């Protein structure tokens, strides 16, 4: 074989390797399937199916149910691929493959053997957000850090690899995502002082392709010379006048003017963790969890995701902006190198994170050209929209006027103008001091339950939490595998509901006008949302209702009472010409865990004061019990 033929053969091998999951591409191209955790790589939570519409949705009936046999919260949604449904559960993360053409007969099942002690180092319930498919395999990211690839037809283990180590406090709750020849996964453990990351493994054998940390040296965060090339101002050494970030009494959170910011600085994952840190080199325990639903744009070849709060909640012991925690990243999926990133909450004091899903959509820009945009409804209460290819910030609007920790976001720098609504307190929280009432709470204006987008009307539908937060902090030192949230003896948080008649709300946000089309109040917090081409939206609530509403008006069209609170994501599919829609019910997540604490310890501060989530038992919520409910006309 001559040299030219060798080059051609090598190029062909590389090309075939990079397109190693055509079965996933084919599965996602078929609207009868639900082949990705959020339907498609764009995270829109949207289905082209329209057999169920605004006229006939009132006739939906329960078609079949499946008990998972597992308690605790069930997040995410099953996968449906060519007549087979893959069901996952909370810990211990059992999987069932069901034959939808044969009365849901169990084709195979997989029962991981996980040490029960893993549950003790998991934040916010023992959830698992879903599965991934590609290259003939089903991928499960177990809570104990093991990523396993199973033969999609038989359930046999093809390979497995250890991603995180629970003994250090690092676990996993995310749904993995298959892109090209890789499966992407993350890391949880920000409340345990873990330094988290995103990692990519080859579909063929589970070998590590790349690993990008959320904090630390540029070489380990996979930041190169062209990072934030179009927006060097995001690479700022400090964005506030006081480098202590207000951590000292009288400290200032006043944003620096752009001409005063040191921009395009290197090694920010180390240099923005200023001395003194409670732990030596605080970035080594910097948090930055990667737990959400990942998005991918084939046009840019970029994967989009967010990182969690900086390690230790107490901001006094980690001065500085604390990059790159609480940031949104776009990375080249082949190499892992960061194309752009923007920190949404510098020096995050309230566990606001940036881990919510990033949704990709197309829209004409001011020049009339089709442009891909990335949007995130952040926990901090702002809706961000970036130009997807370079990270230029197009818009940043409050989800609701009640957001009081910041007045606005600078569209050039991305820096929030922090605001203290209670003059007797500094905006930050100090050891031994209870904070002012901050909105939103650390559950987020929108939490992990994902939004949905309709490309038919360019409307983003998202669940909103109506609550605020007060919390006290201390400066307990870190012990590996032990919680490092540094709250008081009552976990440091007191959630207060703003309106007991409406703890949740669905907002229809017009992404062209950047205005609210309509809002719908719910007495209880809301699950993930499904949008369909017939303009019917589906969602669930913590008080056991599964509902359908008109996406154009918010009008209630149908409801059904399921077995437990809903924190999962509705999904839809079609088999033998009939459309089905389904959802998990099993109370859990942050609110569900709080409710269970309240049952046993009614005076516990964790959510009790001012009628917070401890009131859920009175609102028809029930203990967990995993059930999949599926409906059809």
Catalytic residues, by residue number, are 351
- Alpha carbons within 13 angstroms on the beta-carbon side of residue 502 total 10
Please tell me what DSSP assigns to residue 350.
Answer: S
As a whole number of angstroms, the distance between CA 559 and CA 543 comes to 12
Cα 219 to chain centroid, rounded: 25
Task: Tell me whether residue 552 is exposed, middle or buried, using C-beta atoms within 10 angstroms of its C-beta: 0 to 12, 13 to 18, 19 or more.
Answer: middle
C-alpha to C-alpha distance for 378 and 402, rounded to whole angstroms: 15
Q: Name the nearest CA neighbour of 170 among 202, 133, 145, 153.
A: 145
* Cβ atoms within 10 Å of 333's Cβ, excluding its own: 24
Could you please report the per-residue DSSP string of 60-101? -EEEEEEE-S--S---S--EEETTEEEEE-STTT-EEEEETT
Q: Answer whether 160's CB lies under 8 Å from 166's CB.
A: no
Place of tokens 């865990």: 593
Structure tokens at 20: 């190693």
Query: What tokens were used for 463?
Result: 């669940």
Q: What is the DSSP letter of 473?
A: B
Cβ atoms within 10 Å of 78's Cβ, excluding its own: 28
Q: Which residues contact 479 (CB under 8 A, 6 or more apart)?
A: none
Which token pair is 107? 């084709």
């Amino acid at each position: 074989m001559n040299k030219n033929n060798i080059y051609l053969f090598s190029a062909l091998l590389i090309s075939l390797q990079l397109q190693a999951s055509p079965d996933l591409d084919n599965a996602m191209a078929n609207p009868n399937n639900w082949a990705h955790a959020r339907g498609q790589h764009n995270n829109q939570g949207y289905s082209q199916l329209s057999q169920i519409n605004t006229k006939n949705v009132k006739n939906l009936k329960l078609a079949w149910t499946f008990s998972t046999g597992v308690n605790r919260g069930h997040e995410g949604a099953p996968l449906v691929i060519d007549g087979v449904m893959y069901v996952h559960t909370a810990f211990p993360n059992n999987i069932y493959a069901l034959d939808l053409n044969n009365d849901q007969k169990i084709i195979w099942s997989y029962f991981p053997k996980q040490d029960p002690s893993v549950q003790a180092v998991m934040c916010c319930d023992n959830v698992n957000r879903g599965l991934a498919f590609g290259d003939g395999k089903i991928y499960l990211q177990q809570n104990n850090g093991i990523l396993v690839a199973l033969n999609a037809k038989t359930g046999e283990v093809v390979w497995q690899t250890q991603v995180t180590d629970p003994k250090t406090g690092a676990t996993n709750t995310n749904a993995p995502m298959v892109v090209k020849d890789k499966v992407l996964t993350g890391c949880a453990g920000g409340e345990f002082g873990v330094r988290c990351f995103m990692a990519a493994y080859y579909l063929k054998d589970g070998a590590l392709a790349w690993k990008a940390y959320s904090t630390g040296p540029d070489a380990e965060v996979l930041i190169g010379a062209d990072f934030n090339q179009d927006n060097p101002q995001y690479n700022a050494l400090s964005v506030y006048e006081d480098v202590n970030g207000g951590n000292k009494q009288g400290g200032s959170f006043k944003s620096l003017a752009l001409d005063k910011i040191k921009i395009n600085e290197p090694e920010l994952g180390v240099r923005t963790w200023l001395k003194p840190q409670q732990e030596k080199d605080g970035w080594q325990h910097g948090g930055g969890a990667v737990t959400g639903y990942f998005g991918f744009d084939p046009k840019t070849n970029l994967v989009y995701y967010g990182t969690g709060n900086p390690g230790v909640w107490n901001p006094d012991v980690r001065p500085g902006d604390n990059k790159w925690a609480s940031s949104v990243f776009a990375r080249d999926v082949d190499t892992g190198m960061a194309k752009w990133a923007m920190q949404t909450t510098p020096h995050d004091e309230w566990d606001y994170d940036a881990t919510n899903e990033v949704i990709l959509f197309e829209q004409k820009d001011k020049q009339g050209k089709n442009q891909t945009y990335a949007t995130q409804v952040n926990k901090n209460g702002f809706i961000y929209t970036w130009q997807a290819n370079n990270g230029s910030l197009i818009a940043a609007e409050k989800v609701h006027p009640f957001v009081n920790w910041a007045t606005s976001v600078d569209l050039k720098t991305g820096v929030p103008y922090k605001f203290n609504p209670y003059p007797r307190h500094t905006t930050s929280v100090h050891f031994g001091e209870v904070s002012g009432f901050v909105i939103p709470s650390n559950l987020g204006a929108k939490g992990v339950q994902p939004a949905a987008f309709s490309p038919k009307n360019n409307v983003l539908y998202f669940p909103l939490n109506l609550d605020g937060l007060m919390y006290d902090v201390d400066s307990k030192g870190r012990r590996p595998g032990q919680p490092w949230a540094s709250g008081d003896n009552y976990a440091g948080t007191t959630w207060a509901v703003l309106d007991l008649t409406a703890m949740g709300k669905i907002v229809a946000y017009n992404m062209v006008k950047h205005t609210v089309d309509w809002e719908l109040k719910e007495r209880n917090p809301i699950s993930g949302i499904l949008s369909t081409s017939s303009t019917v939206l589906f969602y669930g609530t913590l008080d056991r209702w599964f509902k359908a509403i008109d996406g154009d008006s918010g009008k209630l069209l149908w409801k059904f009472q399921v077995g437990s609170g809903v924190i999962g994501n509705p999904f839809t599919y079609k088999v033998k010409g009939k459309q089905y829609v389904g959802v998990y019910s099993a109370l859990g997540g942050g609110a569900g865990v709080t409710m269970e604490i309240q049952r046993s310890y009614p005076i516990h501060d964790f959510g009790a004061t001012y009628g917070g989530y401890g009131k859920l038992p009175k609102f028809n919520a029930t203990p967990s019990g995993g059930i999949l409910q599926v409906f059809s006309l």
